[in-house]
Chain A
Amino acid sequence: MSQALPLNTHSSPHLRIQDLNVWYETNHALRGIYAEIPTFGITAIIGPSGCGKTTLLRSLNRLLEEGEGIRVKGQVWLNEVDIYDRVMDLNELRTRVGLLAPKPYPLPLSIYENVAYGRRIHGLDVLDKGNGRNLDRKVEHYLRTAGLWEEVKDRLKAPASALSTGQQQRLCLARALAVEPEILLCDEPTSALDPISAQGIEEQLITLKENTTIVIVTHLLRQASRMADYVIFLWMGELVECGPAKELFKNPKDSRTQAYLMGKIG
């Protein structure tokens, strides 16, 4: 049985994290996190390695618990529905909260089918089964959104594995966007890329933030300051400080945030 998620109304925070705790076996990796992620815009989760950034991100579409020996306790409210509720339909949740992984994993399909994959799974283009033109248009649209269309329009049937790493990551972005998620989680999305490809991805995300809530994990402070509208700073599994990016970067309140921003720790 699944619980339908109400649509976002823009006024309230998109995600409300309430007393979220995560254990890896006995290691208490996230400790009582309370945070709100505003609707639209880019929220950056920053902090040193091993502070729980990725753990927090992956708990937001419940991909985290697919790992071994992981226990999650707490609530994450998505449009006033707790995604950790027992009746939550994980497939629907993950459709609405997409993920862009640090390393591109193109599916073992053609370029076209990679983008069409999610739409086919959900039968989003059932009506045009006859000619597939609607799906063609959608695939083109999302490849354009990801800034990949011009490079691949003549070889849509080629295997996705033939693309360069930078192209593959943009393909993964197109694939994630094709199921029209309202939130896109990005886990160090440029860490495997060369600077030019990385810049491309950053630009696409900045365009997307107009109508999608983007949560990005990054260990690059400069990337966070370039992109983020809102920042969450984690330290050793605890949320130290969060707030609008300008304010937090200019006047960090906590001494640990100050030290981290100045490059003294982490």
Chain B
Amino acid sequence: MNEKSKFLKNREKLSRHHTKSFSKLSRDRKDLAAHKAMRALAICVSILVPVFILVLFLRARPILATHNISTLLFSTTWRPNQGSFGFFPFIMGTLWVTMVAMIISVPLSLLTAIYLAEYTRPKVRAFIMPLIDLLAGIPSVVYGIWGVLTVVPFIQKVVMPSADRWLGFSPLFQTSNPTGYGVLAGGIVLAVMVFPIIIAVSEEVIRTVPLGLREASWSVGASRWQTIRRIVLRRAFPGVIAAVMLGFSRAFGETMAVLMVVGNVVQIPHSIFDAAYPLTALIANNYGEMMSIPLYDAALLGAALILLLVVLTFNIGSRLVLARISYS
């Protein structure tokens, strides 16, 4: 075969190939198909949350139908065998642990965010921020293990003896539960877990305060700290609240790390050393077990519904505030 015929044959093959798979029609059809598939996917993902709420509601309906909603929320009796499903101890458990976490993390995170936004050079900030963000990527079971290995013994051996000596007068610090597993342990672990959220969001919010505002304050002789306290934080206040709400909803819904250190005793805590049983732990520990008890399944899904609604409310609320800040 001479060179020319080889070339011609090759060209023919190539052009056949082109007409087969790259014809305009087939390309358009592929494009359209991909477009439709991706759109369907996007729609599916975006309606997941409403679907979750709907399914949880439908599955929780048996208990909502037979029990008064206020009884469910405020009754302290949790005896599934006898048909009493009072969520109050669990709600209080969640609130105690979340509150302790916020009391620890909010001041520390805000000071860190102020430092990063106001006092560091961009290069230092660019170095520190990713290290803080890394905290957000640690699996929560690892936090749980850290809690069991470090936080719980620390509370038992160091914090509780000191609390006994100096704070024994206050019921908040009674050490009737000697194990170290309890509200404070859960609060400390959660506090570390919400650091990166509150720090990252509030640092960004603080940096959106225009430089001109700071300069206006400096120009009448206000110091850096006076400017931050009286002007920058005042201006950034709604955003900082949104950051705290985001952290709150993260702490409120966290499960694994908390249930490993919080003690899981069905009671209303009265001291930060008491064991607690948060809603998340209730669901995670019991779903799939003892399902023969009537209404048990519905009760747990009702608890999940409460959890989801509270977390969503805080999340959406803070996102609305933050969106308004970034558009203004």
Q: Which residues of A contact B (CB under 8 A)?
A: 61, 63, 66, 68, 90-96, 98-99, 101, 103, 105, 107-109, 117-118, 121-122, 172, 175-176, 178-179
The answer to whether A176 touches B235, judged by C-beta atoms less than 8 angstroms apart, is: no
Q: Is B137 an interface residue (CB 8 A)?
A: no
The answer to whether B220 touches A118, judged by C-beta atoms less than 8 angstroms apart, is: yes
* A175 vs B122: C-alpha distance when bound (angstroms): 31
Q: Is B50 an interface residue (CB 8 A)?
A: no
B121, B122, B213, B221: the one contacting A107 at CB < 8 Å is: B213
The answer to whether A105 touches B213, judged by C-beta atoms less than 8 angstroms apart, is: yes
Q: Is B324 an interface residue (CB 8 A)?
A: no
Q: Is B222 an interface residue (CB 8 A)?
A: yes
Report B106 CB to chain A, min CB distance, Å: 22
The answer to whether B215 touches A63, judged by C-beta atoms less than 8 angstroms apart, is: yes
Can you name 18 A-B pairs with beta carbons within 8 Å? A61-B219, A63-B219, A90-B218, A91-B223, A95-B220, A96-B221, A103-B212, A105-B212, A107-B216, A107-B217, A108-B213, A108-B234, A117-B230, A118-B221, A122-B221, A172-B216, A176-B220, A179-B221
Report A61 CB to chain B, min CB distance, Å: 7
Known contacts A101-B212, A107-B213, A179 near B220 by CB under 8 Å = yes
Known contacts A68-B121, A121-B226, A101 near B215 by CB under 8 Å = yes
* A161 vs B121: C-alpha distance when bound (angstroms): 30
Report A24 CB to chain B, min CB distance, Å: 15
The answer to whether B218 touches A63, judged by C-beta atoms less than 8 angstroms apart, is: yes
Q: Across the A-B interface, give the 8 residue pairs with the lowest CB-CB distance, nearest first.
A: A95-B221, A118-B220, A99-B219, A105-B212, A105-B216, A108-B235, A91-B221, A94-B221
* A118 vs B210: C-alpha distance when bound (angstroms): 19
Known contacts A91-B222, A108-B231, A108-B234, A117 near B121 by CB under 8 Å = no
Report A122 CB to chain B, min CB distance, Å: 6
* A96 vs B219: C-alpha distance when bound (angstroms): 9
Report A215 CB to chain B, min CB distance, Å: 13
Report B38 CB to chain A, min CB distance, Å: 42
Contact size range, B: 10 to 19
Report A54 CB to chain B, min CB distance, Å: 12
The answer to whether B219 touches A94, judged by C-beta atoms less than 8 angstroms apart, is: yes
Across-interface contacts of A108 in B (CB, < 8 A): 213, 231, 234-235
Known contacts A107-B216, A107-B217, A118 near B234 by CB under 8 Å = no
Across-interface contacts of A179 in B (CB, < 8 A): 220-221
Across-interface contacts of A94 in B (CB, < 8 A): 218-221
B121, B215, B223: the one contacting A105 at CB < 8 Å is: B215
Instruction: Give 14 A-B pairs besides A108-B235, A121-B226 with Cβ atoms closer than 8 angstroms.
Output: A66-B215, A66-B218, A91-B222, A92-B221, A94-B219, A95-B220, A101-B215, A107-B213, A107-B231, A117-B217, A117-B230, A121-B230, A122-B221, A175-B220
Across-interface contacts of B217 in A (CB, < 8 A): 107, 117
Across-interface contacts of B213 in A (CB, < 8 A): 105, 107-108
Q: Which of A95, A96, A105, A118 has the most C-beta atoms of chain B within 10 angstroms of its own C-beta?
A: A105
Report A23 CB to chain B, min CB distance, Å: 16
The residue of chain B having its C-beta at the shortest distance from the C-beta of A93 within the complex is: B221
Report B93 CB to chain A, min CB distance, Å: 39
Across-interface contacts of A103 in B (CB, < 8 A): 212
**Residues 81-126 of B at the A interface (beta carbon under 8 Å):** 121-122
The answer to whether B212 touches A117, judged by C-beta atoms less than 8 angstroms apart, is: no
The answer to whether A118 touches B222, judged by C-beta atoms less than 8 angstroms apart, is: yes
Across-interface contacts of B231 in A (CB, < 8 A): 107-108
Across-interface contacts of A99 in B (CB, < 8 A): 215-216, 219
* A66 vs B220: C-alpha distance when bound (angstroms): 15
Known contacts A68-B121, A101-B212, A108-B235, A176 near B221 by CB under 8 Å = no
The answer to whether A121 touches B235, judged by C-beta atoms less than 8 angstroms apart, is: no
Q: Which of B212, B216, B235 has the most C-beta atoms of chain A within 10 angstroms of its own C-beta?
A: B216
Report B228 CB to chain A, min CB distance, Å: 13
The answer to whether A105 touches B210, judged by C-beta atoms less than 8 angstroms apart, is: yes
* A54 vs B222: C-alpha distance when bound (angstroms): 22
Across-interface contacts of A109 in B (CB, < 8 A): 234
The residue of chain A having its C-beta at the shortest distance from the C-beta of B209 within the complex is: A108
B122, B210, B215, B220: the one contacting A121 at CB < 8 Å is: B220
* A94 vs B198: C-alpha distance when bound (angstroms): 34
Across-interface contacts of A176 in B (CB, < 8 A): 219-220
* A61 vs B220: C-alpha distance when bound (angstroms): 11
The residue of chain B having its C-beta at the shortest distance from the C-beta of A177 within the complex is: B220
* A117 vs B220: C-alpha distance when bound (angstroms): 8
